[in-house]
Amino acid sequence: MALTREQLAQRVSKEFKDGYYINLGIGIPTLAANYVPEDMQVVLQSENGILGMGPFPLDEEVDADIINAGKQTVTLIKGASIFSSSDSFAMIRGGHVDLTILGAFEVDCQGNIASYMIPGKLIKGMGGAMDLVSGADNIIVTMTHASKDGVSKLLKECTLPLTGKGCIKRVLTDLALLDIEDGRFVLRERAPGVSVDEIVKLTAGDLEVPKEVPEMIFET
């Protein structure tokens, strides 16, 4: 079974470490904030100028001046700080954020990522994604492994305009966790009940399959 959104978020959260400053993209990455283990503290960076982003506000707490990069109303945790966009991207580009998690349309086995436009169809803009992928050493892409029609999004070479070149080392899809090493995907874990064959079939880029590919384990 392909991972649910919640399971994706849960698996991503296992990459968190105590003391990490983390930038979470819109969607599934944001959900991961709900799965921080109790004995661990992480601080969330929002590229519009927050270090120490908290959960959504209670109805009576809503403040139009406190939003995240997805323009959602949020709160600040104790110890939060606010800064300008240039200071925020100095922080990101300078490599001070420990972990970045973001979505994508396509990735390829060269570590390229495409996530910001589909020519002729969709032009939303890259927002902060290009800075995030070039500033971070430690990036996890979360995405669906293939389209509903079974067309792989893990390619030999991205077909869409790139967001970043050679910067992605780890991908979590609804089917598998993969590393990108030496120009190929390496299958590390598979979703519960998903066979290696199924993943091989839906991966268009070069793929190395180690002898052991453990299933992910989720507490219920």
Partner 1 sequence: MSGFNKVINSYEEAMNGLVDGMTIISGGFGLCGIPEHLIKEIKRKGTKELTIASNNCGTDEHGLGLLLSDHQIKKVIASYVGENALFETQMMNGEIEVDLTPQGTLAEKMRAGGAGIPAFYTPTGYGTPVGEGKEVREFNGRKYILEEALQGDFSIAKAWKGDRHGNLIFRRTARNFNPMAITAGKISVVEVEEIVEVGDLDPDQIHLPGIYVDRLIKGTFEKNIEQRTIRSS
Q: Which two tokens stand for residue 146?
A: 């293939």
Which pair of tokens denotes residue 123? 């032009």
9, 28 Cβ separation under 8 angstroms: yes
Is 47 a catalytic site residue? Answer: yes
Considering the rule CB under 8 A, would residue 84 count as an interface residue with partner 1?
Answer: yes
Residues ≥6 apart with Cβ < 8 Å to 105: 114, 115, 118, 143, 153, 160
Comparison of 61 and 215: residue with beta carbon closer to partner 1: 61
Rounded to whole angstroms, what are the CA distances from 42 to 33, 52, 64, 216? 9, 9, 25, 23
Tell me 59's DSSP state.
G
Residue with tokens 């996890």: 140
> Binding residue for partner 1 (CB under 8 A) from 1, 5, 85, 192?
85
48 binds partner 1 (CB under 8 A): yes
Site for partner 1 in 108-127 (CB under 8 A): 112, 116-117, 123-127
How many residues touch partner 1 under the rule CB under 8 A: the total is: 76
Q: Which of 6, 15, 21, 169 touches partner 1 by CB under 8 A?
A: 21
Euclidean distance between CA atoms 29 and 143, whole angstroms = 10
The residue (of 39 and 212) whose beta carbon lies closer to partner 1 is 39
Selecting among 6, 15, 38, 47, the annotated active-site residue is 47
Does 29 interact with partner 1 (rule: CB under 8 A)?
A: no
Lookup: tokens for 149: 């029609």
CB closer to partner 1 out of 3 and 44? 44
Judged by CB under 8 A, which stretch of 6-14, 78-86, 140-148, 177-185 contacts partner 1? 78-86
Least distance CB 45 / partner 1 (angstroms): 8
Nearest distance, CB of residue 12 and partner 1, angstroms: 18
Task: Specify the length of the chain in residues.
Answer: 220
Neighbouring C-beta atoms of residue 64, cutoff 10 Å: 6
User: Which residues are known catalytic residues?
Assistant: 47
